[in-house]
Structure 1
Amino acid sequence: MGVNDTRSIGRDGATVPAVLVLEQLAVGEPGTTAELAEAVGISEEEARSLCSELVERGDLRRKELRSRETTFTVWYRPAEGMETSPEARAERVIASLSVPGASEMMRDWRRDAVRASYEFLCEEEETTTTELVSSVYSAHSAGYTDEEKWWAMVDERLACLPGVSRTTDDAATVWRFDAQ
C-alpha cells in the first residue's frame, strides 16, 4: 500500500476506507485510537495511521490529553462543513477508494462505475446482482470487456458504502439501500 492509500486491511482481511473510521465519531465528540480500532475492526496501529491521514486531509482533528498517569491522543471531527447524508458520505468513500488501473483516468472511470452502481441501488432501493450488472455495466464498463471481472471490481467496493447491505441465499444476492 502506498502512502496516499486511504484503505487499511481489517482483521477479517477486508479493506477498510479511512472514511469509515471518520464516521465512528459524532461531530465534536472525541474518540481514542483504541475505541476507533475496535469499532471498525482494525488494529490500533492501522486506526492511528488512518486517523493521521484524515488529519492531513482536514477531515479530523487530533488532541493530546494528559493526566497525572498518562498522555493519550483523542481524535474528533470538526463541526464545519461535514455532510452527514449517506450520499455525501458515500461520495467521500468513493473518492478515497483504491481501484485497479494503469492510469488515474482509468481509476476514475472505475470509481465512476462504483458510483453509478451505488446510484442505481439508491434509486431502486432493492435489486439483485444480476439486475444491477445488466443495468449499469453497459454504460459504465470502465475498461472491462467482461461483466464478471467488472463485477469483481465493483462488488467489494459497493458493499462498503454507507446504507448498502447485501444478503445471499441459494437463488441470488440481493442488494438493499437504506438511507437510515
Structure 2
Amino acid sequence: MSDGGERTRNDRGQYADRIPPEAVLEVFEARDDWGRPLTASDVLEELDCSRRTAHNKLNELVDRGDLRTRKVGARSRVWWRQIDPADVRTEAATDEEERPPEVAAAIGEADLPGSGPRLDARREALSAAYEYLTDHPEAKKADFLRDVYAEHPAGYESAEAWWNAIQPALKELPGVDPPDERGHLWHFLGG
C-alpha cells in the first residue's frame, strides 16, 4: 500500500490518486464470470489499496454510470457492470451460428409440445440442455434440473414436467448418448 516514499499532492494540497477509476473497471473486465458481482474486498485485493480507496473508486464509477451497486446485508454492498442485452443476444446468435447445421436442424425439428412463443422457449430450453451436455459430457438428470431448468423453465411449473418434455427430444440430438434403461448418466460423444 505504501511504497515508502512521499505521496504526491495535487494543486489543492490533497494526496493525488495513484489508482485511476479505469484500473477498477479493469478488475471487472478481467474476470471470466461477468455475471458475478464484486465486493470492495475483491477490488482492494486486486489493486492493493485501502478499503476506503476501493469504496471511493467504486462509488465514483457508480456516479459516472459505469457500475451498478446494491446493498446485500446490514453492512455489505456489491458492484457490477451492467450487461447490455444486445450483447447477450449477439453472443447467443453467434453460438447458434457456430453450432453444426445438423444440430440446429434437429433442435428446430424436435417434437416438443406447444406453439408460437411457448414452443420457441422450449426449443431454447432444449438447446440449453444440449449445450450443457456438450460442456459437461457426463451429466445426470439432477444436473440438468439444477443447472438448466432454473434458467430455461420454458413455461413448465415443475422441473419434472420440464424434464418429461425435454429429455425425449434431447435423446434424439446428434452426439447424445442417453442412459441405459436403468442408468443415470447422460453422455456427449461429440459430433
What TM-score does the superposition give when structure 1 sets the normalisation length? 0.48
What TM-score does the superposition give when structure 2 sets the normalisation length? 0.46
Q: Give the structure, 1 or 2, with the largest relative contact order (CA under 8 Å, sep 6 or more).
A: 1
Which structure shows the bigger proportion of residues in strand conformation? 1
